[in-house]
Amino acid sequence: MQTIAHWLDGKPFAGTSSATAPVTNPATGVVTGQVALAGVEDARAVIASAKAAFPEWRDTSLARRTQILFRFRELLNERKEELAKLITAEHGKVQSDALGEVNRGLEVVEFACGVPHLIKGGFTENASTKVDIFSIRQPLGPVAVISPFNFPAMVPMWFFPIAIAAGNTVVLKPSEKDPSSSLWLAELWHEAGLPAGVFNVLQGDKVAVDELLDNPHIKAVSFVGSTPIAKYVYQRGTASGKRVQALGGAKNHMVVLPDADLDLAADAVVNAGFGSAGERCMAISVVLAVGAVGDELVAKITERAKTIKTGDGTRDTDMGPLVTREHRDRVAAYIDAGESAGASVVLDGRGIQADGAADGFWLGPTVLDHVGTAMSVYTDEIFGPVLSVVRVDSYDEALQLVNDNPYGNGTAIFTNDGGAARRFHNEVEVGMVGINVPIPVPMAYYSFGGWKNSLFGDSHAHGIEGAHFFTRGKAVTTRWLDPSHGGLELGFPQNK
């Protein structure tokens, strides 16, 4: 059985810790490997590699950096099917979904190829008499990326292409549930010509995370995961003096107004709610049916959801398993709780007969109607293929529910009324908004991030905010030697 190692100094690193965790194929329940779990000394060794590589990489020209980035982009594009298959084998999502994940990450790589424009400074001549001022943006140093299980390739690629292009070195700490993608990416960077130590991988659990948060050589931390852990990462990292962007959980609502095209809305709900078995931070998990549309909308959603083929992601299926048996059981327990609290189980995925091994972690699409806002299926982030339908009387009631929710990651409204749509995107307190678009994930040149408990820190991922997060500004004031400026002058400098 393979052991999935760390990556240090441009090659695999076994580490000194004997601790490991199993890696399982969710579609079969079979353990396919063991991932190394770093001890403190292993973490420090990987961080030291990133620290040692930083000075030379910082001083590498922008031209050379972008050449390597372009080469990485070409290799990734040529071999993206390999990475997609690796994701399916460890996460369980169907291969078309895995390939879509890689393609969205590839967009950030392409964006980072334009780094010279993203981090260029400014120049002011003669700001004061014969005094010039210019600004520059410089890399921070070694930075950490701590990524979740649900997007083992895309989420790391939200961060590390921009960080590396800007002159930083990177330590990636992937999820221990699906860690192999991280080493595949490390090998690709090596093939692209990235110097050893610029991109490193630290496998592990809380021990590795805490060392990244505490170690003074790590200058910034990018994190995506659940809200409690995001808050922990933010508080501990900032307490150590680091920049931190910690993206947390979500409870994304879709508002369906009475004038909406219900066929379009039902298609969108099913695609956004059950894609990747609902294991997306941008998944729609709540539908707010406004006015009299509820019965017809629920019928259309259920009709479509029944056609979803659940099974092994390597076969001709639409939706794969959940990532672990424990997570599958946790999600099923939410369905039990919703039913006990009075919600109507319109479509029940608990007894699904999947096209896959009997020991796979299967849970089919589930639709709960007449969900109350005090039920756990409404209040909690479930992270599974469970869709809750809440009936509301008006737009204002729907808006209030979205704004009262402690999460503010993504939301959507379906309507043919331009005025209602404009009012919604202006008034809603959520970071990413879709108008007749169910999963409003921005392109790489815009920034990804939520509000409220969906984000801790001031910076969203990628886009201009990402380029600024991984650099810091410096202003330089210059005056070349001129005898007319001689003599003592102890007063505060003034412009003349």
Q: Which residues are catalytically annotated?
A: 281
What backbone phi and psi angles, to 5 degrees, belong to 431? Answer: -75, -30
In angstroms, the CA 425 to CA 434 distance is 8
In angstroms, the CA 449 to CA 479 distance is 42
The answer to whether 472 and 137 are in contact (CB under 8 A) is: yes
Contacts of 190 (CB under 8 A, 6+ apart): 10, 11, 196
In this structure, the number of other CB atoms found within 10 A of the CB of residue 2 comes to 10
Encoded tokens for 332: 């099923």
What backbone phi and psi angles, to 5 degrees, belong to 213? Answer: -75, -30
How do strand 169-173 and strand 142-146 relate by DSSP bridges?
parallel
Residue 348, judged by CB atoms within 10 A of its CB (0-12, 13-18, 19+), counts as middle
Length of the chain as a residue count: 496
What backbone phi and psi angles, to 5 degrees, belong to 394? Answer: -150, 165
In angstroms, the CA 328 to CA 333 distance is 9
